[in-house]
Amino acid sequence: MGRTAMLLVVLIAAATASAQVYRWVDKDGKVHYSDQAPPDAAAKDMHIDSKPADPLAAERTLEELKAQNVGLDEAAKARDEAAAAKARDKDLKARRCDEAKAQLAVYERVSRVVTVDGSGKESYSSAAELDAHRAAARQKVAELCG
């Protein structure tokens, strides 16, 4: 019976724990708080009552924070994926631009264009057709590089 009574007293004392806190202002005007009164300054006794933490509430808070972190991790992953997709798109656009510029350079250097049909027969473009190829190539460069 003595053990039970002692345990009960300890539990009650823990449930109504209080802390002694002192507050004072030093000669420079800085405010201090401590659990011990300063020997050389007038301190105000600030009695603070405290209660033990609720472990279930702490666990719920921890689970809520973990859930929020999952949301943050997913948002960060989505941002990273979007940035990677944007970088891929930018690289693809740059490659297509370079290809269009190279094709335009070819059309600007040649004096005629040879096309080969499915049976292997060659045909040469006229000056007007070459001008049309050049115009189309310039338009493609403007679209892809502009």
H-run or E-run covering 142:
helix 127-145
Mean pLDDT of 99-125: 91
Give the pLDDT confidence of 2-46 residue by residue, as tens digits: 555 454 444 455 544 556 888 888 888 898 888 888 887 788 887
The confidence band for 142, taking pLDDT boundaries of 50, 70 and 90, is very high
pLDDT of residue 8: 45
Among 32, 49, 66, the domain-final residue is: 49
State residue 55's pLDDT score. Answer: 82
Q: Is the same domain home to 20 and 65?
A: no
What pLDDT score does 140 carry? Answer: 95
Confidence at residue 42, expressed as pLDDT on a 0 to 100 scale: 80
pLDDT on residue 7: 44
Angle subtended at Cα 48 by Cα 6 and Cα 39, rounded to the nearest 5 degrees: 105
Spatial neighbors of 52 by CB under 8 A, at least 6 apart, are: 14, 15, 17
Q: What is the reported pLDDT for 17?
A: 55
Q: How confident is the model at residue 1 (pLDDT cuts 50, 70, 90)?
A: very low
pTM above 0.75, yes or no: no
pLDDT in tens, 40-81: 778 888 777 777 778 888 888 888 888 888 777 888 888 999
Same domain, 109 and 63: yes
113 with 134, same domain? yes
Domain containing residue 35: 2-49
- 38 and 63 in a single domain? The answer is no
How many domains are there within the chain?
Answer: 2
The H or E element that residue 44 is part of is strand 44-49
